[in-house]
Structure 1
């Protein structure tokens, strides 16, 4: 019989996030991360002049940074249950027998097709960092999704030195984030900081790659081009 030490460790032990505050990820070592959901663009459909302009703008953006950033693409299965449910409501509301039949058949086609074929969506993200040394942060709720528990407000009315430092660091991270957003805008990309709930969904999807997204929300609302 395998000992408990050989059992699989809980997923949260491998996640370096301790909590969140207004969409900012607070790591276990006190460092901060801001995740931006970024829109996409089809580079191949651009003219040669447009491609050169985009490339130059991207190079200029990278050259203006005095800190590192992380860029990653996340592919996930799309949850179409909401769309299928909306079609079912249309069937119930439609009075024209012919349209009612067509909508019903279309709904069944979508349900059958998505059952046999995974519909994938790509999301683009940029992570803006702010690293600090040994800034311990109290944990939030227990469990995997509990790592995103929001920091409870203090009732004493006066923040501690630790809280003051955290507030200062978040302010500096915000300045970095604004710089990155402005640089991405120059390239023609829209960037939006994801909130606590969207961060929870993102990490859920990352650690459950075979599962359909937890809620089906559009991360950051950045959209695509």
Structure 2
């Protein structure tokens, strides 16, 4: 039985994405770091061993858990073909026009016969030391007769404190990967939302998941 979008999102443990940080419904925080890949087959045996050893040392230095996720998707070649077709239309040189047309047909047939996949590597960094609550439950007990505005400010300060701790962990991850020759960067809010949209909508090329 098909589930509507609202019902489906009830199973997603994400409450919101704020300033590039994922806030879970249980109060935990998560950051997502995008990392590039290293082709070990292009390295010598000594370089391969050195890279693997460095990565092993990096993992051993961590005092918190991480999750490594690989997202594989079929490459959407349609925008590239559209660009080539536009150039073919404005091409005035007959020979170049013919070559462009043949190249378009070659690319189209090749991608129909062979699935070209792209892989994205993500590291999920957690911070769950203290549960964050947006409702007035726990904050009401802590701050008693505080006004709604004061409670909101206290909640924001609490979030900023936890985010600071999370960003320290992200920095540890980025520095460790850099020593392995792996470039990385933390995703912002729009990028995080796009990642989750693609996870829950694998058949669609673009769009956004709505988090409530």
Q: TM-score, normalised by structure 1?
A: 0.77
Unaligned runs of 5+ in 2: 136-148, 208-212
Q: Distance in 1 between matches of 2:47 and 2:27?
A: 42
Q: Distance in 2 between matches of 1:113 and 1:43?
A: 27
Tell me, yes or no, if structure 1 residue 102 matches structure 2 residue 102: no
Q: 1:177 to 1:97 in 2, by over 3 A?
A: same
Q: 1:177 to 1:20 in 2, by over 3 A?
A: same
1:49-90 residue CA offsets vs partner (Å, 9 max, x unmatched): 111211221122112211000011111122222211211221
Q: Distance in 2 between matches of 1:90 and 1:158?
A: 59
How far has the Cα of 1:159 moved from its partner? 5.5
Q: 1:119 to 1:52 in 2, by over 3 A?
A: closer
Cα RMSD after superposing both structures: 2.3
Q: TM-score, normalised by structure 2?
A: 0.81
The secondary structure found in structure 1 opposite 2:10 is: helix
Indicate which of 139, 146, 153 corresponds to 1:160: 153
Q: Distance in 2 between matches of 1:117 and 1:46?
A: 27
Indicate which of 165, 172, 183 corresponds to 1:179: 172
Tell me, yes or no, if structure 1 residue 12 matches structure 2 residue 9: yes
Compare CA radii of gyration and give the structure with the larger one. 2
Please name the residue that 2:205 is paired with.
Answer: 213
Unaligned runs of 5+ in 1: 1-5, 139-155, 216-225
1:12-36 residue CA offsets vs partner (Å, 9 max, x unmatched): 1121111112211111111111111
